[in-house]
Amino acid sequence: MSDTIKVMELIKADVLTADALEIGDLISFDDDIVEVISIDVDSTGDTYSIEVSNDFGETQIVDFAFDEEVDWYVYLD
């Protein structure tokens, strides 16, 4: 049996606001594609603190305004 590797390409699928993001989403941030790990919203609903992780497992918390837009990516197989 031969092994095969399936190459999956990331494509920009849409532009979402911070309030539309979900855990597991892939977004563009700081010239990199990162995965959304957790989402926390302040009491006013105006600021979203989103924890993201890059390909190296490095995490960072980024604050977004509720109406701030980010590029959303999906895998195309």
Q: How many domains does the chain have?
A: 1
What does the mean pLDDT of the chain come to?
92
pLDDT tens per residue, range 46-69: 999 999 999 999 999 999 999 999
Q: Considering the domain boundaries, does residue 39 fall inside one?
A: yes
What is the arithmetic mean of pLDDT over 17-44?
A: 96
Q: Check residue 2 and give its pLDDT.
A: 65
Residues contacting 52, CB < 8 A, separation 6+: 27, 29, 34, 35, 36, 37, 59, 60, 61, 62
Is 19 part of a structural domain of the chain?
A: yes
Is residue 3, in this structure, part of any structural domain at all? Answer: no
Q: Which comes out higher in pLDDT, residue 37 or 9?
A: 37
Establish if 4 belongs to a structural domain. no
pLDDT-based confidence at residue 76 (cuts at 50, 70, 90): confident
Which residues form the domain of 34?
9-76
CATH number at residue 70: 2.30.30.30
Please classify residue 71 by burial: count the beta carbons closer than 10 Å to its beta carbon, then call 0-12 exposed, 13-18 middle and 19+ buried: middle
